[in-house]
Structure 1
Amino acid sequence: MMDIQGEVKQLVEEIKRLGDVGPDGKVSVKFVKLIDDERCGNIFEAIIGTLKAARKNKVIDFEGEFLLKGVHDDVEIKVL
C-alpha cells in the first residue's frame, strides 16, 4: 500500500532541494527540473500522481489541470 502523505512530504523536500525562493518567500521549481531529476525518478513511482495528491491537499500549486513532459516543462510548481 502506498503512503501518499509520506510521498507528498518527500515531494516537498525534493522541490525545496531543487527549487529557488521567489519574491513571495515561497519555494518553486520548474516541472522539467523536477521530472528530469534522477533522484526524483528513483524515489517516485508515479510523480504525476504525487503532484496531484499534493495539490489536492493544498501543499503545492501549479497552473493548469495536469502536467505533461515537454508541453508543461516551464510550469512552476510552488510549495504553499
Structure 2
Amino acid sequence: MNVEEEVGKLKEEIQRLGQKQPDGSHKVTFGVLFNDDCCANIFEALVGTLRAAKKRKIVTYDGELLLQGVHDNVEITLLPPPAVAAA
C-alpha cells in the first residue's frame, strides 16, 4: 500500500472509531486507534501513517511522535474537508 492509500484508510478508520464534531471533524484518541484490531491489521506503521497525514494537514494532534501507552489519551482530529467556494 502506498502512503496516499494508507492515509485514505486512516481517514476511514478515524471516521469509524471517532466521534463526529459539530464542525464536521472527527476525534479519536491514539489509544483507541492503536488498540483496534482492524487498524492493527491494516497499518504496519500506524505512527508513520499518522505523521504522513499530519504533514498533509489531514489530521492534527499534539506532539510529533506518539507512543503506545504514554500517549493513549492524545486526541487525533480528522479535519473536515475544505469548503468549496461558490463562484
TM-score (norm: length of structure 1): 0.93
Q: Does residue 1:79 correspond to 2:78, yes or no?
A: yes
Q: Does residue 1:46 correspond to 2:52, yes or no?
A: no
What's the Cα RMSD here? 1.0
Give the 3-state SS of the residue equivalent to 2:62 in structure 1: coil
Gaps of 5+ in 1: none
Q: Report the residue type matching 1:36 in the other structure.
A: N
Instruction: Find the structure with the greater CA-based Rg.
Output: 2
State the identity %.
53
Aligned to 1:21: 20
TM-score (norm: length of structure 2): 0.86
| Deviation for aligned residue 1:26 | 1.2
